Amino acid sequence: MFYNLVLYKDLDVAPKWFGKNLRQHVEEKLIQEVEGTCNGRFGYVVAVSQIVSVSPGVIRQDGTGFATFQVMYKALVFRPYKGEVLDTSVTSVNKMGFFAEAGPLQVFVSNHLIPEDFEFTATGDPCYQSSDGFTKIQEGSEVRLRIVGTKMDQSDIFCIGTIKDDYLGVLGGPV
Amino acid sequence: MSGSGEDDLNDQLEDEEEDERPNSAPATGKGSKRKAVQQFFDDAADEDDEEEEEEEERGAGGERRHKKRSVFIDDIADVDDDEEEEEEDEEEAGDLIDDQDTVAEQAERSAADHAQFRQLNRQQEEKSAEEIARHIEERYKAMEEGGPGYEDEDMLTGATGAVGQQAMLPTVNDPKLWMVRARAGHEREACIQLLQKSYNMQRKGTPILIKSAFALDHLKEYVYIEAEKEAHVRDAIRGLRTMFVSKGVRLVPLSEMVHAVTVNRTAKSTIARGTWVRVRTGLYKDDLAEVVDVDAATNRAVVRLVPRLDLQAMASRAQDPEARKKNPFGRVGPVRPPARAFNPEEARELALLVTRVPGVDGQTYLQLGSNRFISGYLEKAINLRSLTPIDGAPPLEDLQRFKACGMAADENQMAGGADGDLSSLMAALPSGVAPKTHFVEGDLVMIVKGDLKNLEAEVETTRDDGKVMVRPKVQDFNEAVDFDADELRKVFKVGDRVRLISGTYTGETGMVLQMQDNDQCIVISDTTKQELKVFGRDLTRSDEPDTGVETLGEYQLHDLVLLDQSTAGVIIQIQRDAARVLTSNSTPGLHDIRVVRSADIQRKLHAKNMVTTDTSMNKIRTEDLVNFNMGGPHSVQNRSGTVKYIWRGMLFVKGKEFLDAGGFEVVRANKCKLRGAPSNNADLARIVASGSHGTPMRTPQSPGHGFTSRTPTMYAPASPGNFAPAARVAAGATTPSNPGGFPAPGGGFPPPGGYPPPGGRGAGPMRPPAAGGFGGRGRGAGLNSLIGRTIRVRGGQYNGYRGRVKHETASHVQVEFDAISNRLITVERRLCHDEATLTAPRPMAAPSQGPPRGVPGGFSAPGGFGSRGGASVPGGFGSRGALNGARGADYGGAGAYPQTPLHHSMTPMHPSMTPAHPSMTPAAAPYTPMHAPTPTPGDDNDFMLGGASDYQVKKGIECRLF
């Protein structure tokens, strides 16, 4: 699920930036440091949408001359939940299941959580093929799945998903 | 069978019963049951034969039971016996009368034997407690006195009360117990010898006077002898080679006599029929074995093993007498053969004789040499001492392998696959051996037995007696109910985070993918992303948001560790006492994964600040993104990941796509490409020439500019603000193409081929070393690093000192001077000059070893110039002299060594040249200017001729920057 949250970040800025472009630099640095990161609590920081405020800088007392700015910013975060339904694109298929990505999030769908009528075929591009042969899950396929388990790390989130449920499964083939 | 026949039978049965009754006590439960049976016969007289067969079976079963039973409950079995006889009667109607007689006789005999007890049994039901007590007393009293039950030992030991025991303790009047030293391993033999001796002496008429002798298995080198006097013992053991009179005879104190004969229960072997053991030594060391039979007397057990046979070797032995001579006992070599099911066909193909041997219990064994096989297993008698009992069930993998052996041998189950089904394995496990589930508070369980079956519950506590208190998940039900551990089963839901608490994967965490009926669970491991098939009882919920990081001693998951001098690796998985390490010997697609113990790891490597170059000489640091740029399969080629460690030109790259080796791949740095870097030198040149700053090249890491390269955005610096000031000024002040302003001149990218030379070809390389070091070097050790190099200080307090660089920063270096030991001295970087590059163009320095500041005078010092022939020499010197003059004017002391800047900057271009000429000896010095460490003298000339003025300009600018 996506949220627009107000978050805080302490930025250390080198003294050479203490000039008229300081604010610009702080903004750039913030984006560089937080966008694309993952946080065990809020999930992935997808984008910084607004910088609310930048506190006055405090010179660090360690001789480096760096100043610390506390930045309050709004960011779009993406946090997956158990039970959430996501549209993903398949990145790799193997006999144990397939991996799919929803933006930064990686989801693994085990072959136990793929309907029984899908069979793994290793010939050519590895894929899961339905018994009638019409549907195929291969690299690049778009799949709607439900998250059944999440593992939140300090720096990464990993989920397992299922397509063994109503209204889940392949949305489209590789483009 | 006809209805009339049945009736006859029933009549007979009734007669039979009447015959029996006078002997036995009346009205047993059994009797009434029999009545019921008769009723049944009457009612269902027309029923088919099946019922009769059933009856027969029951009868047969009864007989079997009879054999095991104690005499005290014999009466029931007897009746059963009778019954069976009766049923036999049905079939052999002709022998009816005779049989009955025998039956009656038998019944009479046994009944007479145990009449008392029957009576007791039957009357008990109607008697009050006191009466029963009185009867029991009577009964045991009778036994003490040698009544009918006396011979039953079980009864005796079981019934003797505390008082009786006390009475049996030895007193001072009893014979004493003596301890005698015996030859080790011959304790039993010694006892037998004593027995024999006692017989022999008895026959001679001079009996030995000891009462008894015994040896204990757990007490080596001693034999106990019971005798009145020590002299008796000495007499008895005299002359026996197994016992030593000389070593003395020790009296066992009265108080310890009981201990001496008490069988230590804990010392008793736990190895019993049907248990699992491991072989401790020999060919089958550490192999799993199932105990088929135990012979406590010989201390041996017959076990079943998965055979390790080298049929080939056996065959060649059988055919080649030479081989037999060399190896008379068919000893196996150092490499032990793999464990495999025995296949008689294979043996026969190799012309080995496989015979069929009947076993004691009706099975047929196959015999090959001295080995006996049954259904693929080897049966072997092994000393109990070389078997180790296994606590609980053996590990699943071992068990699977073991069972697979039997299955492979069984042709019927060939199709079932060799890896064995878990559930059948479970069934195969002896019930008593199945390990207990360990329940912890909060576990979600399902009740699998009893009235509350299939009800889910939550574990409250586990009690000491093994009972588990659970609270069923039913509305308004708030009581905790206690259950036995085996009445409960842990349940998990798909997606639950779990931790493995026993089995081979102990300690791993993962997510439940599937729960199956027979307590099996499929779990996807967090670290390896592999599916593990485990038992639910080995799992526990791990709700805490732990990282799954395990540690092995001081090492953690994903640490870079040094295994030996030439191998490092990343820990990709940590097991109970070992770690799996992906080593630097791996290549993408061909992983070298080693399982190492903590002791095998030399140390942890902190290789965070390493820099190396990719295929187009871009600098790669840790946390950079790289693409694999190599031949090979498509799948490998297109991969990419984040560099986590750099070690000796190998990159340890982490990426989501790398599933096989814990998310890591190892790739040679020069087979990679930095993501976002220009693809080749031509591009680079174009970019540089265009002077645009918005190009996707790496920004310089200027000193103090400490942002990390987390995201790809940093490769496309949109504003010039990302450039280091030095680079910016330089770039602005000189031509756009001036590599002096380019971020990584020290990083050693070669002079681009299609390079537009507006600023002069020598511009780049002519940068003075100090400036070059500054502009191109990051905070850490770059390629142009001085660390480890021998430098000489020019100027300042330490002018002329030579030493080795230990640490460096952008502007200073810490040097260990040859002349000042045990101290590191910080010197300005610009004063340091690399000795290796200095030596070459500095003919006067080497011989004098001093810091000759007077340049012209220096030329005469070695006297070696005379030996230089050719017209080129004066010319060369001329130009140098001119340079010297010019520089000297500009820089004073520093200018005294004008060659230095020229040649220093060559080094990065030809990095291998410097070590190639490590020691320029004084004798050789005069030659060096000619054979300076540059393979292209043309370059030299360029500097000398055209580059000088340009150089000065730039130098001036950059100096101002400092």
Polymer length in residues for chain A: 175
Rounded to 5 degrees, what angle do the CA atoms B785, B787, B793 make? Answer: 95
Residue A47 contacts B where some CB pair is shorter than 8 Å: no
Residues A66 and A93 in one domain: no
Q: Which residue has the higher pLDDT, B877 or B167?
A: B167
- pLDDT tens-digit readout, B55-70: 444 444 444 444 455 5
Amino acid residing at B153: E
Kindly state whether B567 is in contact with chain A, defined as any CB-CB distance less than 8 angstroms: no
B513 → closest Cβ in A24, A154, A160: A160
Q: Identify the structural domains of chain B with CATH numbers, from first to last.
A: 3-122 (no CATH), 127-168 (no CATH), 176-261 (3.30.70.940), 276-414 (no CATH), 551-674 (no CATH), 678-759 (no CATH), 774-961 (2.30.30.30)
Predicted pLDDT of residue B638: 67
Whole-angstrom distance between the N-terminal and C-terminal Cα of chain A?
26
Chain B residues whose CB is inside 8 A of the A110 CB are: 513-514, 522, 524, 531
Task: Identify the helix (H) or strand (E) that includes residue B585.
Answer: none
| Per-chain mean pLDDT for chain B | 65
% chain A with pLDDT above 90:
58
- Considering the domain architecture, whether residues A65 and A94 belong to the same structural domain is answered as no
Chain A: residue nearest B657 by CA?
Answer: A92
> Across chain B, how many H-helices and E-strands are there?
30, 41
Contact B497 A149 (CB under 8 A): yes
Q: What confidence score (pLDDT) does residue B78 get? A: 46
- A41 in B contact zone (CB under 8 Å): no
Per mean pLDDT, which range of B452-456, B814-818, B828-832, B849-853 is the poorest? B849-853
Q: Please give the span between the terminal C-alpha atoms of chain B, in angstroms, as a whole number.
A: 121
Q: Which pLDDT score, from 0 to 100, does residue A44 have?
A: 92
* pLDDT confidence of residue B913: 44
If asked whether residues A165 and A92 sit together in one domain, one would say yes
How many interchain CB pairs under 8 A, A with B?
79
Residues of chain A with pLDDT under 50: none
CATH number of the domain at A162, please: 2.40.50.140
A-contacting residues of B 465-504, CB under 8 Å?
Answer: 494-497
Taking CA–CA distances from A82, the nearest residue in chain B reads B495
CA dist B11 and A100 (Å) reads 82
Q: How far is A131 from chain B (nearest CA, A)?
A: 22
| Residue of B512, B532, B556, B707 for testing the chain A interface, max A β-carbons within 10 Å | B707
Q: Please tell me if residue A93 touches chain B, with a CB cutoff of 8 Å.
A: no
State whether A102 and A153 are in the same domain. yes
Q: Do B529 and A108 touch (CB under 8 A)?
A: yes
Are residues A41 and A61 located together in one domain of the fold?
yes
Tokens of B265: 């229960």
Residue showing tokens 């694999």: B628
Q: Are A55 and A130 found together in one domain?
A: no
Residue B855 confidence (pLDDT) above 60: no
Least Cα separation, residue A19 to chain B (angstroms)? 11
Q: Which residues pair with A87 in a beta bridge?
A: A144
- Report ipTM (2 d.p.): 0.83
Half-sphere exposure in the Cβ direction for B715 (13 Å, CA): 17
pLDDT of residue B54: 45
Question: pLDDT at position A27, please?
Answer: 92
Contact (CB<8Å) B512/A149: yes
Residues 280-339 of B with CB under 8 A from A: none
Nearest to B710 among A17, A33, A151 (CB): A33
Do residue B524 and residue A108 have CB atoms under 8 angstroms apart? yes
Same domain, A48 and A26: yes
Q: Number of C-alpha atoms within 13 angstroms, CB side, residue B663?
A: 19
* Degrees to nearest 5, angle at CA B419 with B417 and B422: 110
Distance from CA of B631 to the nearest CA of A (A): 20
Tell me the shortest Cα–Cα distance from A149 to chain B, in angstroms.
4
CB contact under 8 A, B526 and A158: yes
Task: Please indicate whether residue B100 or residue B376 has the higher confidence score (pLDDT).
Answer: B376
Q: Which of A25-34, B462-471, B756-765, B801-810 has the lowest mean pLDDT?
A: B756-765
Read off the pLDDT of residues B736-781 as tens digits, 9 standing for 90 and up: 333 433 443 333 344 443 344 343 343 333 444 433 333 333 344 4
What pLDDT does B725 receive? 40
Q: Is B716 an interface residue toward A (CB < 8 Å)?
A: no
Domain residues for the domain of A39 are 2-78
Question: Which residues in chain A have Cβ-Cβ distances shorter than 8 Å to B547?
Answer: 153-154
Interchain contact A32–B (C-beta under 8 A): yes
Q: What is the pLDDT of residue B505?
A: 75
Is the CB of residue A74 less than 8 Å away from at least one CB of chain B? no
Task: Pick the last residue of a domain from A51, A78, A105.
Answer: A78
Q: What angle do CA B589, B594, B595 make, to 5 degrees?
A: 140
pLDDT at B347: 82
Residue among B495, B513, B659 minimizing CB distance to A82? B495
Instruction: Count the Cβ atoms, other than its own, within 10 Å of residue B696.
Output: 15
Question: Which chain B residues have a beta carbon less than 8 Å from that of A9?
Answer: none
* H or E stretch covering B88: helix B74-91
Nearest alpha-carbon partner for B528 in A96, A140, A139, A43: A96
- Looking at the fold, whether A8 and A25 belong to one and the same domain comes out as yes
* CATH of residue A15: 3.30.1490.120
In angstroms, the CA B401 to CA B941 distance is 76
Shared domain for A66 and A14, answered yes or no, is yes
**How many angstroms separate the CA atoms of B133 and B130, rounded?**
5
pLDDT at B127: 61
Strand order in the sheet with B625-628: B664-668, B650-654, B640-647, B625-628, B672-674
Biggest CA-to-CA distance, chain A: 71
For an interface test with A, the pick among B492, B494, B497, B705 (most A C-beta atoms closer than 10 Å) comes out as B494
Distance from CA of A148 to the nearest CA of B (A): 5
Q: Does A10 touch chain B (CB under 8 A)?
A: no
B547·A110 Cβ contact <8 A: no
CB interface of B with A, residues 643-682, below 8 Å: 656-657, 659
pLDDT tens profile B876-923: 333 343 344 344 334 433 333 444 444 444 444 444 444 444 444 444
Residues A102 and A61 both lie in one domain = no
Minimal C-alpha gap between A113 and chain B (Å):
7
Scanning every residue of chain B, which has its alpha carbon at the shortest distance from the alpha carbon of A96? B531
Find chain B residues with C-beta within 8 A of A163's C-beta. none
Contact yes or no for A91 and B706 at CB 8 A: no
pLDDT of res. A89: 93
The predicted structure's pLDDT at residue B803: 87
Residue B186 has pLDDT above 70, yes or no: yes
**Residues of B in Cβ contact (< 8 Å) with A40:** 545
Q: Which residue has the higher pLDDT, B460 or B547?
A: B460
Shortest alpha-carbon distance between residue A134 and chain B (Å): 26
What own/partner pairs with CB < 8 Å and gap ≥ 24 does A92-97 have? A92/A139, A92/B657, A92/B659, A93/A120, A93/A125, A93/A126, A93/A127, A93/A128, A93/A137, A93/A138, A93/A139, A94/A126, A94/B659, A95/A120, A95/A122, A95/A126, A96/B530, A96/B531
Of B909, B947, B913, B945, nearest to B932 by C-alpha is: B913
Using a CB-CB cut-off of 8 Å, the residues of chain B touching A65 are: 704
Residue finishing a domain among A46, A78, A110: A78
- Residue B3, pLDDT > 90, answer no
pLDDT for the residue numbered B363: 77
- What pLDDT, on a 0 to 100 scale, did the predictor assign at position B97? 46
Q: Identify the pLDDT of residue B873.
A: 38
Structural domains counted in chain A: 2
Both A61 and A116 in one domain: the answer is: no
User: Which of A31, A113, A154 is closest, CB to CB, to B513?
Assistant: A113
Does position B339 have pLDDT exceeding 90, yes or no?
no
Nearest by CB to B495, from A29, A33, A148: name it: A148
Q: Does B633 touch chain A (CB under 8 A)?
A: no
Boundary residue ending a domain (A31, A47, A78) = A78
Residues A104 and A65 in one domain: no
B714 to A40: CB separation less than 8 angstroms, yes or no: no
CA distance B515 to B493: 7
